[in-house]
Every structure is written in C-alpha cells, then in structure tokens.
Amino acid sequence: MIGGLVALVVLAVAGIFIGINRKPSQPATLPPSVSERMFSYHIVVQRYRDGQPYRESFVLPGEMIFQSDYRIRLVVTSPQAGHLYILNEGPSSSPGVPSFNILFPGSGESARLAANQTIQIPAEENHWIVFDEQEGTEKLWMAWSVESVEALEAAKAFGESEHQGRIADPGLLREVQMFLNQHQASPPTVTRDDQKGQTIVRSNSDVMVRLVHLEHH
C-alpha cells in the first residue's frame, strides 16, 4: 500500500485547493427506472515529462497501471439526485485501524448533488491528482446514497486544511470502514463501456459503494 493520493494534501498545502465543478450533463445512458439507482465515472489521464504535460490527456473508464509521471482526474455523474462521497484508503497506521482521506466533499461543502450534475476532482482544469514515489495499489472508494450518510457527513470536518483530508478520529474511522465494508459485501452491478470511456454502476439499493483500485508503478 502507498499514500499516492495523499499527494492531494501536498497540493492543498501549496495553495491548490481541491473542489468541485458542478455542471449539467446528459445521462450516460437512458435514465434508470425509479427502483434502480445509477452513477457513472471515468478517469482522465495526463502524462507528464520533466514537470510539463506530455501529449494529449486521455479518458479511461476505470482502472489501469499508472506510471510515476501520470496524473489523473476523477469525473463522476448520476442521472438521479443523491449524495456522493469519495475517499482514499491509505496504509493502516496500526493493526485493525484503517487510514482514510476524504476527497469529496470537503469541510463546508454539501455532498448532495442534483440530477445530472458532474463532480470533477480536482475541479480546476489545470490541476491533477498526483502519485508519490512509492509503488503499490491505491484504494479509491465512491459511495452514492439517496440519503446523507451520518459517518461520512462527520468525516467532512476533516477536509479542513489543518487536517488535510485525513480522518483523525479512530472511532469515526471504524464507522466509515464498517459502512464501506457492509455495502461492499453486496456490491452493485458494474458495466465497463470502453466505447464511451466510462464505467456504469447500478443497483436497486438506496446505497451504492464502488471500490476502484489504482495500481501505481
């Protein structure tokens, strides 16, 4: 395990604050039925050389092996209104205690999104998520819920600059871990659409949790 996405913290310290870019967009597919929930996501990848962008960025529907000079941006949307939470799971600091950074929403931001709104992280077009020099596999958790999630709402407080996104309360860490593991035990249906460059997540449940592995070498 590595702390690659924790590089987001470094960006924040440098004065680059990660936010959101909400804008209407068309549903990726036909709207789901009332009983079916859905969201879709893709990853924008930009290669860098000598600190400068190299060639054009490209879109991935999901996971791949990222090299050290790759930078990424996550884009998530849903045709339905709901609440979205995005976390990065890093190395455990001690046995049984997970390490989570909340990437969205931050302190003072709302997790609630209107139908067809898009979240882009980082929001700024010239800012990217960067990996550090360590190698391994990052865990990126995306949780979509009809109603707000108490534990994840509490985690928003750690989005302040003094915490740099890292959830520091051990009790809250366990609550977040239990929530994610509980819903990951019955994962939603996932369809990868390479032609459209996106991954579609569907479920009849009011809560969907999607775990994405980002392998970094």
pLDDT in tens, 143-195: 999 999 999 999 999 987 677 788 999 999 999 999 999 998 899 999 988 88
Structure tokens at 114: 């209107």
pLDDT in tens, 46-105: 776 666 666 656 565 555 555 567 778 899 999 999 999 999 887 655 566 778 989 899
Stated length of the chain: 217
- Write out the residue range of the structural domain in which residue 184 sits: 4-216
pTM for the structure as a whole? 0.75
Round the average pLDDT of the chain to a whole number and report it: 77
Across the strands, what pairs with 140?
Answer: 88, 212
DSSP string across 149-204: -HHHHHHGGGGSTTTTTB---HHHHHHHHHHHHHHHTSPPEEEEETTTTEEEEEES
**In 3D, which of 80, 36, 61, 86 has the Cα closest to residue 188?**
36
Total count of domains within the chain: 1
Structure tokens at 204: 């009849």
